[in-house]
Chains A and B, each alone.
Chain A
Amino acid sequence: MNISIEDQLGLISFEVDKEKHIKVETSICRQCVDKPCLRFCPSKRFTLEKGEIVHNYEGCLECGSCKFACPKGAVDFSYPRGGYGVYYKYG
């Protein structure tokens, strides 16, 4: 089974908030050569657009990894407001 992350995320239910729960200080990312966020995020929410890191909070699985895996401390992590975000049917 070879399914893309977009298709995977399409299977999951989300209550999308207007407010971002994760904020990324991209000026710090410019100095980061390795950019591991492009790899460790299991739902690939970090992408590179025109050389800049972009974080898309929609589709975030709230796994918590970016809270501490960003080596530069560029990620300001919190959970979505109550009731918002992912809701698993199986878990």
Chain B
Amino acid sequence: MSEKFDAIIVGAGPAGSAAAYSLAKMGFNVLMVERGKYPGAKNVMGGRMYAYALNRLIPDFWKEAPVERCVTREKLTLLSEKSSVTLDFQDNELLEPPNSFTILRAKFDQWFANKAVEAGATLIPNIRVDDLLWKDKRVVGIVAGTDKLEANVVIAADGAVSLMAEKAGLKKFLAKEFAIGMKEIIEFSGKTIEDRFNLASEEGAAQLFIGQCTKQIPGGAFIYTNKTSLSLGIVVYINQLIESKVEAYELMREFNSNPAIAKLIAGGKIVEYSAHVIPESSRTGLFTDGLLVVGDAAGLLVNSGITLMGMDMAIASGMAAAEAVKIAIGKNDFLKKSLSYYEYLLKNDFVLADMHTFKRSPKFLQNTRLYSLYPELACKLFHRLALVKGPKKRLFDEFLEETKGKKIQIIRDLIKGLRSL
């Protein structure tokens, strides 16, 4: 292959496929290189994608994409050792138009990459990109084994641990900016899932857990319902995991055995275990001469506690990168200044706007009281309310008693929370 490409994209995750699909539709000559046996082979997520971003690129994509269930039920569970308090939100307006879908990445990423191929992009799986190709201090292509391939622009879509962004000098990796996620897929019949989560067929639930499940380590656990399986997992900040002296895999095992969870997964069969890091607050330089960085590789992800927006950010940033490449090709200028149009597009779209809105949330979410004091408090309060052993007190008096000596801290956290999330 000695031809020169308009763009070479490293990685066929959602960010890469969104860029490849957009550029191919514009008629450009695009190559997407993926190290996995197939797109999605290496990719892990909790399981829910908000629909709006992909809907802008491929309207009504859910009619053809391998989506699992449309989420209509959102649950938040505060867990203590022996009890739990759950907030259960049910809303059929989340169905029409669909707000979010549970997905399984091995299937979804293959579909999405294939859409890019149908639009005219070239996909090469089974190839690891080893390095960027440089000429006169600008990126002019990629190196894979003994092959050197040239392009006007390279788009690094290589995910959270972006070795491309690191090689370009745009990224440093710090443990405190990442979380680690572990996940299991547990198989059931569709009917069992619908019964246990109180769902109509095709409809899905997203349940988040905070508290005892992470042993006070900042983070949380999740269950997403797929068609015939549950995605169940745990996410914790890595530096606090290390400080806590707790073993990562132990958290996964114990979560499964928590009485509240054990009931939900009883009788199911584990068919897969997986793990991946999440760039919770790991921002990367977005471009340099001849290179754009998109999706997780650029740290474009928002965790606002209840919602984790990674897929939609990846897709929107891939689309913005394609737009910036189109303009750069028009000017035949691939240097920084020209490519900075990418950042301008992100600022004017939701991507950098949302990152800015939630800029305080990573710090707030590392407050350990969120995972110990508050879930404990909620469970104790409801315990007091539920238990009848004699004369009852008013709710407010129970609250005052349970929060003795902690009220100022609680009010402070509340204010910080309202400003962050």
Listed in ascending order, the chain A residues whose CB lies under 8 Å from chain B are 1-3, 5, 8-9, 11-12, 15, 34, 36, 38-44, 61-65, 67-69, 71, 77-83, 85-91
Contact = CB atoms under 8 A, between A and B. Distances in A.
Interface centre among A8, A77, A85 (most CB of B within 10 A): A8
10 contacts: A42-B252, A63-B180, A64-B160, A65-B277, A69-B180, A69-B239, A87-B38, A87-B41, A91-B104, A91-B109
Nearest to B172: A68
B308 interface: no
Nearest to B124: A82
B130 to A, nearest CB: 8
Given A69-B238, A86-B41, A11 B272 contact: yes
Determine chain A's interface SS by DSSP, over half rule.
loop
B270 A40 contact: no
Given A61-B276, A91-B43, A91-B104, 17 more contacts: A1-B262, A2-B253, A40-B241, A42-B249, A44-B249, A63-B44, A69-B238, A69-B239, A79-B128, A83-B36, A83-B127, A88-B42, A88-B43, A89-B271, A90-B106, A91-B106, A91-B107
Nearest to A63: B275
A44 B249 CA distance: 8
Given A40-B242, A41-B248, A88 B272 contact: yes
B73 to A, nearest CB: 22
Nearest 9 pairs of A and B residues by beta carbon: A91-B105, A64-B161, A83-B126, A68-B173, A42-B275, A91-B106, A8-B273, A87-B41, A63-B275
Given A44-B249, A68-B174, A91-B109, A85 B42 contact: yes
B40 interface: yes
Nearest to A8: B273
Contact of A88 (B35, B173, B238, B274): B274
Contacts, number: 146
Contacts of A89: 106, 271-272
A4 to B, nearest CB: 9
A21 to B, nearest CB: 9
Contact of A63 (B104, B256, B265, B277): B277
A39 B248 contact: yes
Given A5-B249, A87-B41, A82 B128 contact: yes
Given A40-B242, A65-B180, A68-B178, A82 B144 contact: yes
A88 B40 contact: yes
B229 interface: yes
A62 B37 CA distance: 14
B163 interface: yes
Interface of B: 35-38, 40-45, 104-107, 109, 125-128, 144, 160-161, 163, 173-175, 178, 180, 182, 184-186, 229, 231, 238-239, 241-242, 245-249, 252-253, 256-257, 262, 265, 268, 270-277
Interface centre among B125, B256, B272 (most CB of A within 10 A): B272
Interface centre among A40, A80, A91 (most CB of B within 10 A): A91
A81 B272 CA distance: 23
A9 B128 CA distance: 23
Contacts of B186: 1
A67 B177 CA distance: 13
Contacts of A1: 186, 256-257, 262, 265, 268, 270
Contacts of A34: 242
B161 to A, nearest CB: 4
A45 to B, nearest CB: 11
Contacts of B257: 1-2
A62 B270 contact: no
A83 B37 contact: yes
Nearest to B40: A91
B241 A39 contact: yes
A36 B246 CA distance: 9
Contacts of A15: 37
Contacts of B276: 61, 63-64
Contacts of B126: 82-83
A82 B43 CA distance: 15
Nearest to A37: B242
Contacts of B252: 42
A23 B178 CA distance: 21
